[in-house]
Structure 1
Amino acid sequence: MSGPIEPQWNLLPDDPEAFFGLSGEYDLRDLKRKYNSFIRQFKPERFPEEFQKIRAAFERLNDALRYHERPGTSVIQPDQQFDWKFNEPTKQNPQPEKRPPELVEPREFPFPDDARPVERSDSLSAQSDPQPLHERISVESLPGIFEDLKQKEEKTPYDYYTLAVLSDIRQEETHAFAYWLLEGLQAHPDEPALFELLRQYFANQPDPDGLPELLEATSRAVRTDRFYYLTERAWDELLCHDAFSDFREHLETCEANLLDHRIDHMLVFYLHILKTAVWKASDHWLREKFGEIEAHYDRLPYWAEEEIDFLEQINLYRSQRSEFLEGGPVRAMIDQAIFDYCTKRESDADRSFLECQNQLVSLEEEVLREFNVPEKDIGIVLYLWERISSEVLERIAEELYPEQTESLEVQAKKLGHRLLTEGVGIRYQVLHSLALILGLGVLGSIGLII
């Protein structure tokens, strides 16, 4: 039997579609199938670097598909993104009648003091035929190039990109890289490479210090509902680490700056953010956001129905959580795995699930005792395990070879497979995910319920 195919790592990060072997029309299911096949081969605990590359490529395409965006590129291409004459400015036609008045005049961003543009020097103004940037780098100091570029009156998108990179090298104030990209997007609205570079910046866990101010500045520069697609991953970080009252205040401030009345991106954003927010938000805020989604249900993409159902069940479970936890310590373990699935990054959530599974396999009597109840009393938990286990097991499923030393994880997988293949009847199908996780103990519970 031939071994797994080695991924084409040279295609990342610039061409994630080719890396996953996707082209033409494909959807979230196609992407997830390709992604899971790689994750089974490159597990995060054994191949952390490879896993991070695969995960970043997946998130990039997944985000674009959810928001109905064309997967952006940050590659500098002469026929699309940037002017490769580097120092020749592209004349801009602002067309004020087609743009919000707030964007016509240059906007002030909170740049660090030493990153602000300065007056052009006589020597630079007199330079009639400046050297291309790639030649200047080999003979001039980077700080000198940085200062000269700041003095240019009309900057190309590539100039702003260069300023962003050089500000990073100079280790200026926090988020100086992103602020230069924002300045570039103001001068060149909707420039695709600058937009994608900024989106990737937000996706790569930027420093939380000053992040709310950066998001607010972004909402003043990108005032359409594409703001949600651009900044979604940064909101994930704020939601995880800030008090919810602070998160809500920052989000409302940014949303007040948006001028676009389209709501499609907003709906996708809240479908995503609610998975974590449901554990931290007030009941009033949750009713408001679920109500907005319900009111515009007909505008949601095809995949949203299953996601809404899951979110509603999570919200319902949260309202009954304290009662469920009264059942004993095994239930507390299960509750923690559900919570981690909703609030942690994928690899950490999968690890929490497997640790819970491994412990439960050895707790037959405790599981039997705590789940010896009518099915209706644990119906929501059964549904949640159905969803969580199916997703996690898609990622960790692998061939089981007899010669392998059997860890608890392998034992649990085999047990789950046997329960699934040998079980008959509707009730076995309804309970198969719980059987998969709880192992032998749930087998007794199933017998009692039937």
Structure 2
Amino acid sequence: MSDPGEPQWDLLPDQPEQFFSLSGEYDVRDLKRSYNALIKRFKPEKYPEEFQRIRAAYERLNDALRYGETPHQGTIPLESQFDWSSLPVPGQQPRDLPEDQTPVSPAGSSQEDPNSESAPLIEFLELHERVKQEPLPELYEDLRSLPHKTPYDYYALALISDLLSEEELSFPLWLLKGLKAHPEEPALFELLHQYFLTNQTINGLGKLLVQTSRIIRNDRFYYLTENAWDLLLREVPFSRFRQVLETCESNLLDHRVDHMLVFYVHLLKAALWKADPGWIRMTLAQIDEYHERMTFWLEQEYEFLFLIRSYQEQREEFLKGGPVRKLIDQTIIDYCTQNEQTADRRFLECQLTLVSQRDEVLEEFDVPSRNCETVVYLWETIAADVSQRIDTDWLPDDPATLQEQTSQLAGRLFAEGEGAEYRKAVKIPRLAFTLIFLISMLVIMLCLINKSDSISGTLLIVGFLFLFNGVAFIISHLFTDMVTQEFYLSWWRRQLMTFYQSHWFPLPYLAAELKRLNGTRIDNQKFRGLGEIAHMVRNDAGLWFYSTAQRLLSACQ
């Protein structure tokens, strides 16, 4: 008996919707949830074949949904779209048939009407039978010489030419010839889409795209070729990429704005790192012009582009920190420019490095971490996307235990080692200010008692003492902050990192709970300074990167 939780592999590749348990109205988010649930079980490093089948089915539906194509279109089995019998070819002799069998004349043949009394009762060999009996070169020449070819003939020519010809593009070129003869033929169109989806050959790709734009001259060109543009953008200089794209778009006659928006929002994720600034500005302005036509999920993708743009504006300053920052920067670029599998792997490799180089992370990110707000938010967005695909049985801490765990953490921060030294250190400026304030009050009282002095002199002394106390208060406050920051960097920060080796609570939640505990008393111990620690936690980019890395690596384990 098969496992009831086992995917129905027999539904692929022809019924991807049923494979992902999708029915009725669904969108990109529904598809992604189902896809992520499957690839958590069938990871590429353990189940490469299963993963590739799941990925191919996902990309097929995802492309259709994003571009507004009917998801069912192109997912019908090819057997029901093609006439699987070959056309008669000159010189072929019909087979002898049993007396009780009615012969069938192939669809699309030039034979006489089978209902006519004079029609010969013949049946020609089907193509799969001819392949077994005839040399492929002769069969290829016979098919190519046909004056009128069916869609299936073009499909057969594409397959055979792929076996016989050394030309890498013979397969898609025959499909294009078929689409030229049979415009919008769904089976040929889907076969060509699958070719662009899986092809990793860069040689001749630019010419193939231009040739495709001369035959598929409507808005479906973007949907058909999107993956080929991703490959071209990665492998060739941007000037060459732009030239090919502009040539192709000049051949299009009626491309819709909606398809153009989907294509360019997808393309810009990688192009922002490679394209020239002028082209980026022009493309963004073109998208902004039709922003109101975006769907909800497309708006989210567009907001991610602006997050990247904001980071790029601060990138030069961010990279001055050291090698860890450069590693983070390269990981962000890889996430935007590489395929999903490669990007996920490099992101997780970066997490392992961040955990293993804790001291370097502490050194490169001061507290407060300046000009890091955007990169932290960008990193969180990427981590959330990657974690959806890698989480297995790992579960984060129960939020209900946050208060208890934070109380225990606070106890360690203040009761152990340098934590106790901190309480003594911060008392010094506080006691000094208190002493100065008391002496000032005493001097003021003496001045008021001494009637011999003029009133103006008394007021001058009082004003001076108030000013002196104000300055003393500011110095005391600054000294306390300096001591607190020093203890945070040398003691509390390391304790917080140790805490995140075995716990996971979102940093804002932990900071809010630490602030709430400030000034409270637990087990005869009064916590002071937790508000300052909470503020530093919120502004500690190094702790953000480290805690995120610990969380993702725990999920992988």
TM range (shorter): 0.7 to 0.9
Structure 1 counterpart of 2:77: 75
Percent of pairs with identical residues = 53
Query: Is the 8 Å Cα contact of residues 42 and 51 (structure 1) preserved in structure 2?
Result: yes
Structure 2 counterpart of 1:408: none
State the Cα deviation string for residues 161-192 of structure 1 (Å, max 9, x = none). Answer: 11111111213412101011001101111111
Task: Check 1:16–1:430 CA distance in 2 against 1; reply closer, same or farther (3 A cut).
Answer: farther
Pairwise CA distance, 1:31: 0.8
Pairwise CA distance, 1:311: 0.4
State the Cα deviation string for residues 311-360 of structure 1 (Å, max 9, x = none). Answer: 01212222332211001221111111111101111111111111111121
Task: Check 1:169–1:243 CA distance in 2 against 1; reply closer, same or farther (3 A cut).
Answer: same
Structure 2 counterpart of 1:311: 305
Structure 2 counterpart of 1:277: 271
Structure 1 counterpart of 2:334: 340
Q: Does residue 46 of structure 1 match 2:53?
A: no
Query: Is the 8 Å Cα contact of residues 317 and 380 (structure 1) preserved in structure 2?
Result: yes
SS at match of 1:372: coil
Task: Check 1:206–1:356 CA distance in 2 against 1; reply closer, same or farther (3 A cut).
Answer: closer
SS at match of 2:65: helix
Structure 2 counterpart of 1:37: 37
Task: Check 1:302–1:121 CA distance in 2 against 1; reply closer, same or farther (3 A cut).
Answer: same
Query: Is the 8 Å Cα contact of residues 238 and 275 (structure 2) preserved in structure 1?
Result: yes
Residue type at the aligned position of 2:265: L
Q: Does residue 299 of structure 1 match 2:407?
A: no
Structure 2 counterpart of 1:14: 14
Q: What are structure 1's unaligned runs of at least 5 residues?
A: 89-119, 402-410, 444-450
In 2: Cα distance, 1:76 partner to 1:414 partner: 53
Residue type at the aligned position of 2:75: T
Residue type at the aligned position of 1:45: E
Structure 1 counterpart of 2:145: 151
TM-score, scaled to structure 2: 0.66
Equivalence map 1:254-269=2 (5 Å): 254-269=248-263
Q: Does residue 398 of structure 1 match 2:392?
A: yes
Pairwise CA distance, 1:87: 2.0
SS at match of 1:377: coil
Q: Does residue 228 of structure 1 match 2:235?
A: no
Task: Check 1:45–1:412 CA distance in 2 against 1; reply closer, same or farther (3 A cut).
Answer: farther
SS at match of 2:168: coil
Pairwise CA distance, 1:382: 1.2
Pairwise CA distance, 1:300: 1.6
State the Cα deviation string for residues 194-253 of structure 1 (Å, max 9, x = none). Answer: 000000001112421111111100000000011010000011111001001110011111
SS at match of 1:70: coil
SS at match of 2:371: helix
In 2: Cα distance, 1:425 partner to 1:313 partner: 26
Task: Check 1:292–1:185 CA distance in 2 against 1; reply closer, same or farther (3 A cut).
Answer: same
Residue type at the aligned position of 2:251: N
Residue type at the aligned position of 2:504: H
Structure 2 counterpart of 1:64: 64
Task: Check 1:430–1:211 CA distance in 2 against 1; reply closer, same or farther (3 A cut).
Answer: farther
Pairwise CA distance, 1:4: 8.6
Structure 2 counterpart of 1:24: 24
Q: What are structure 2's unaligned runs of at least 5 residues?
A: 94-108, 113-121, 396-497, 514-533, 552-557
Q: Does residue 439 of structure 1 match 2:433?
A: no
Q: Does residue 386 of structure 1 match 2:380?
A: yes
In 1: Cα distance, 2:538 partner to 2:111 partner: 76
In 2: Cα distance, 1:204 partner to 1:358 partner: 31
In 1: Cα distance, 2:380 partner to 2:20 partner: 27
Structure 1 counterpart of 2:101: none
Query: Is the 8 Å Cα contact of residues 365 and 541 (structure 2) preserved in structure 1?
Result: no
For structure 1, which segment, 361-370 or 217-226, has the greater mean C-alpha deviation from structure 2 after superposition? 361-370
For structure 1, which segment, 432-441 or 203-212, has the greater mean C-alpha deviation from structure 2 after superposition? 432-441
Pairwise CA distance, 1:441: 10
How many residues get paired?
399
In 2: Cα distance, 1:420 partner to 1:318 partner: 25
Equivalence map 1:310-389=2 (5 Å): 310-374=304-368, 377-389=371-383
In 2: Cα distance, 1:412 partner to 1:22 partner: 41
Equivalent residue in structure 2 for 1:245, among 239, 246, 254: 239
Query: Is the 8 Å Cα contact of residues 352 and 549 (structure 2) preserved in structure 1?
Result: no
Q: CA RMSD in A?
A: 3.1
Task: Check 1:261–1:76 CA distance in 2 against 1; reply closer, same or farther (3 A cut).
Answer: closer
Pairwise CA distance, 1:282: 0.6
Query: Is the 8 Å Cα contact of residues 412 and 437 (structure 1) preserved in structure 2?
Result: no
In 2: Cα distance, 1:288 partner to 1:400 partner: 45
Larger radius of gyration: 2
Q: Does residue 169 of structure 1 match 2:163?
A: yes
Query: Is the 8 Å Cα contact of residues 434 and 442 (structure 1) preserved in structure 2?
Result: no
Task: Check 1:310–1:413 CA distance in 2 against 1; reply closer, same or farther (3 A cut).
Answer: farther
Task: Check 1:189–1:431 CA distance in 2 against 1; reply closer, same or farther (3 A cut).
Answer: farther
Residue type at the aligned position of 1:369: E
Equivalent residue in structure 1 for 2:284, among 272, 279, 290: 290
Residue type at the aligned position of 2:7: P
Residue type at the aligned position of 1:439: S
Residue type at the aligned position of 2:328: I
Residue type at the aligned position of 1:272: H
Structure 1 counterpart of 2:512: 425
Q: Does residue 210 of structure 1 match 2:204?
A: yes
TM-score, scaled to structure 1: 0.81
Query: Is the 8 Å Cα contact of residues 228 and 266 (structure 1) preserved in structure 2?
Result: yes
In 1: Cα distance, 2:135 partner to 2:389 partner: 49
Task: Check 1:417–1:398 CA distance in 2 against 1; reply closer, same or farther (3 A cut).
Answer: farther
